[in-house]
Each structure stands twice: as C-alpha cells, then as structure tokens.
Amino acid sequence: MTANHDWTPTAHELADLELLVSGAFQPLTGFLGVADTHGVIEHGRLTDGTPWPAPVTLTLPDDHPARPGDRVTLRDPEGAAVAVLTVTEREGGQVAGPVEGLGAIEHGPFARMRRPPAEIRAKLAGRPVLAVTMRGPLDDLSEIVATADELGKTAGDSGEPATILLLALAYGERGPAVVRAALAARDRLPKDTEVVVVPLAPREPAIDLELRERIADAYGASEHLAAPDPVIIPGPPHRRGLVVFFTGLSGSGKSTIARGLRDALLERGSRTVTYLDGDVVRRLLSAGLSFSKADRDLNIRRIGFVAAEVARHGGLAICAPIAPYAATRAEVRAMVEEVGGDFLLVHVATPLEECERRDRKGLYAKARAGLIPEFTGISAPYEEPDDADLTIDTTGMDVDHAVGLVLDALEKGGWIR
Ligand SMILES: Nc1ncnc2c1ncn2[C@@H]1O[C@H](COP(=O)(O)OS(=O)(=O)O)[C@@H](OP(=O)(O)O)[C@H]1O
Ligand SMILES: Nc1ncnc2c1ncn2[C@@H]1O[C@H](COP(=O)(O)OP(=O)(O)O)[C@@H](O)[C@H]1O
C-alpha cells in the first residue's frame, strides 16, 4: 500500500527542487538515485546516457519511513507544500523519484521574480535571447550590449538586437544582493531587458558553469554569457557576527565564564552582546521541554536559531547550554556560518568528578540517588567535542583567568580590539 509522508528538505535541496519543478533543470524531472548519481559524478551522464553535470539528490534521515512506492510531500520551512515526490528508489537515506509541483512557490525572498522557463520562453518567443547568468554586480555592460547586437544581426530575422535576459542566481545570504545588482543593471540596459531570479545553489566552478548553460538553455537562450563571480572580501572579524558557544557538563563553569565574558565585553563597549542564559532559555524559549535527547536537540536548535539571527545582523551572541550531542552542536555551527557569522566553540572541560564535587545545586546528589533521570554525565551521555576552538578545564583555576582565556581567543581572532 502507498503511504504518504511529509518532509522539509534542506535549503540546498529545496533550491534544487524548485528548479526541477520549474523545468529549469530539464531534462531532469526528479531527484537522482544512486546509479544516476554515480554516473553523473564519474562520467557526466545519467545511466540512460543523457548528459547531466551535477548530482541532484535528496536525503532523508535514516529513521524516516518513506519506502519505494510511497509519496512524500516536500514542504518549505514555513510548512507550505511545494511538491510531491513519488519514491522509486531508496538507498540508505538517499531517495529518488519524480517530483510534481503543487503551484506557486512562496518561500524565500523574491518569489514573484522566480518565473519559470516556459513563461519566459513564451514571452520572449520570436527574437533571439542573450541570457546572462550572474552572481554579483555586472561591472561592464558594454560586452553584453555588443553581444546582443551581434546576435540580433546573425540570429534574428529583423536584425534587432537580441533580448537580454538577466538570470540572477540568487541563493542564501548573498541572494538579495545579486537581485539588486540585476535590477540595477536592467536600468542601464535596453528597455525590454528581463530579470528572472533563479535559485541555483553554488557548486564547484566547472559544474556551476555547466548548470548555468543548462538553465540558460531551458530559458530559451540563443546564447549565454556567464558573468564573472564577484570577489567577496569578508568584512573584518570585529564587524562580523560571532557566536561564542560554551558546552560542558552541569557545574563545569559555563554560565560563570559566560557572564564574566559578557561583562568584560560590555565594559569595553565595542560590541553589542546578546547573552542567551541557559535558565532564561529554558523558562521562555524552551519552556516545557524535558531532558530527553529529542528535547535537548530541540532546545539547542532553538538557541542556535536565535544566535544565528543575532550573528546575521553582525551581533555577538553568547550561549551556555550543556549541548551534549556533537551532531546538534555541528548543526548550530552550520546555521551560524550559513548566515556569514563566525562560530567559536568553547568546551568547558571540567571533569565530572570536579563538577560533582562542586554540586552547586545539589543536582548530582539527586541524580546519583536516582531522583533525576537522564542526568548528563550520570545517566545521560555527554559527547566530548573534537572540534572545540578552545578547551578550558576550570579545576583549580580562578574565574577571571578562565574569562581571560576566552577574551584572549577573541582578541587573537580579531573579533574584539
Ligand atoms: N537531566 C538533566 N540533565 C542535565 N541537566 C539538567 C537535568 N535536569 C535538570 N537539569 C538542569 O538543567 C540545566 C541544563 O539545561 P540545558 O538547557 O543547558 O541542557 S541541554 O543543553 O538541553 O542538554 C542544568 O543547568 P547547568 O548546571 O547550568 O548546566 C541543570 O541544572
Ligand atoms: N575557573 C572557574 N570558572 C568557572 N566557574 C568556576 C571556576 N572555578 C570555580 N567555579 C565555580 O564552579 C561553578 C560553576 O557553575 P556554573 O557556572 O553554574 O556551571 P554551568 O553553567 O556549567 O552549570 C560555580 O560555582 C563557580 O563559582
């Protein structure tokens, strides 16, 4: 029997999904299976011989129940159904099969400008089209104008210049800047110039170029110009968003050091600080959550979400939860880096014996007595980080010294001056 499931793909998968559904990835009509993925990577061809440059895949978690024959409604982060995948193959987490769009896509900025190839082909039919794919500002428009003129003379009946179609490859944080660049260029180009936003996630340069060619083709281009990628110079560290994320056992000293760090930063006054105090988070943002693995993960993701928003706007967020699971900490790191922020993981590595000796809140005694279930370090795991940017064992150390170690790291990294 066919079962129906739901899933929210990652941002990259959703961008690919949108291109599959719109026809911009023609002739692909669905996510690739393992054999096709292998064929594409090894030979640039699907198993049926069709040339295709890049894997376009969807991965579900191992415990997701979808099986071949099932249908999965793929949803955007806001919960709106984007497409239905009919699963034809599953190998590990990778699921393959055709996707069918469910109408207008609304998530992400500039949804109305992400017009599908068929609409643009119909609108521009009858004249040659020069497609320009771009990921940054177009510095030199004269080459585009000259190419459109030339194309009109050679490919068009009337000799009129080709219509210029600016395909703004907008994905992630830098997407809006690409769209602004396309709109600014349009104002300086012939009146009939079109701007279409295409959510093509960046890949390695050679593959990216081939995909651009495919997309330009799908949009009816007679010729394609790939505008050079912009040189991105990241702002100096003291202007970039930063998340200082403490992790460690209960009683290891996370909150004490975090508070000391906050005060030291406020004293300097050079950066604004958001301190996501663990207790405040548990009382407000994560009210009602337990200490099960699932709830702890949710707690950490919520903290990560808020911290990433702070970092997106160039702020500095300090977080100090236990965060016992490595994969969830890595997710937060990825969330922060995705928005252009830096992430500093501080492992407060005070050993269990010392934390238990301190037992400030009497919780270890209760946990030992079996009164608190799933207590980290006693009856629930703590996965030691192997990706800590700084490790501090506070045993026999005074608080100011511990705070000083973090301040030193921030100074060394250029985050504070
Ligand atoms: N079962 C269990 N395990 C661990 N800790 C427990 C538990 N039950 C209550 N507490 C108290 O909750 C504080 C940890 O909350 P966190 O939000 O930081 O935990 S987690 O990151 O979601 O794992 C932790 O506070 P800190 O001592 O400040 O770390 C404990 O006081
Ligand atoms: N060098 C140090 N750094 C941080 N805390 C220390 C240090 N030395 C002793 N402590 C004590 O250890 C305890 C740590 O508690 P807390 O900061 O609430 O830990 P956590 O937030 O990790 O549960 C406090 O009582 C603090 O005074």
Give the model confidence (pLDDT) of 362-388 as tens digits: 999 999 999 999 999 999 999 999 999
ipTM: 0.98
- pLDDT tens-digit profile of 54-96? 999 999 999 999 999 999 999 999 999 999 999 999 999 999 9
The residue behind tokens 């967020």 is 317
The residue behind tokens 């030979």 is 43
Pick the CATH number of 111-226 from 3.50.30.30, 1.10.1200.10, 3.40.50.620, 3.30.420.40: 3.40.50.620
Q: What six digits make up the tokens of 335?
A: 């969330």
Arithmetic mean of pLDDT, 280-291: 96
Nearest alpha carbon, ligand 1 atom 30: 250
Is the link from the previous residue into 55 a cis peptide, with omega within 30 of 0?
A: no
pLDDT at 106 over 90: no
- pLDDT, position 270: 86
Nearest alpha carbon, ligand 1 atom 11: 250
322 lines ligand 1 (CB under 6 A): yes
CATH fold of 4-101 reads: Sulfate adenylyltransferase (3.10.400)
pLDDT at 211 over 90: yes
Closest by Cα among 244, 231, 226, 149 to 189: 149
Arithmetic mean of pLDDT, 261-289: 94
Are both 4-101 and 237-413 of the same fold?
no
Name the closest ligand to CA 361: 1
On whether 286 is known to bind a ligand per the annotation, the reply is no
- pLDDT, position 157: 76
Arithmetic mean of pLDDT, 161-186: 96
Q: Structure pTM?
A: 0.84
Domain ranges of the chain: 4-101, 111-226, 237-413
Arithmetic mean of pLDDT, 289-303: 97
Arithmetic mean of pLDDT, 247-263: 97
Arithmetic mean of pLDDT, 220-238: 92
User: If you write DSSP's letter for every residue of 278-291 in order, what string do you get?
Assistant: HHHHHHTTTTT--S
Nearest alpha carbon, ligand 1 atom 29: 250
Quote the CA–CA distance of 74 and 33 in Å, as a whole number.
17
Q: Does domain 237-413 fall into CATH 3.40.50.300?
A: yes
Q: Which one-letter amino acid corresponds to residue 384?
A: E
- pLDDT, position 139: 87
Quote the CA–CA distance of 266 and 273 in Å, as a whole number.
7
- pLDDT, position 29: 97
Q: Which atom of ligand 1 is nearest to the CA of 299?
A: 22
Name the closest ligand to CA 283: 1
Span from the CA of 316 to the centroid of ligand 2 (angstroms): 22
Most distant CA atoms of the chain, gap in Å = 89
User: If you write DSSP's letter for every residue of 55-93 in order, what string do you get?
Assistant: ---EE--TT----TT-EEEEE-TTS-EEEEEE--EEETT
pLDDT at 1 over 90: no
- pLDDT, position 105: 86
Span from the CA of 416 to the centroid of ligand 2 (angstroms): 24
Span from the CA of 148 to the centroid of ligand 1 (angstroms): 64
Q: Which atom of ligand 2 is nearest to the CA of 398?
A: 1
- pLDDT tens-digit profile of 116-137? 999 999 999 999 999 999 999 9
Mutation pick for ligand 1 pocket among 275, 291, 350 (CB with most ligand atoms within 8 Å): 291
Answer whether 33's CB lies under 8 Å from 98's CB: no
Nearest alpha carbon, ligand 2 atom 11: 253
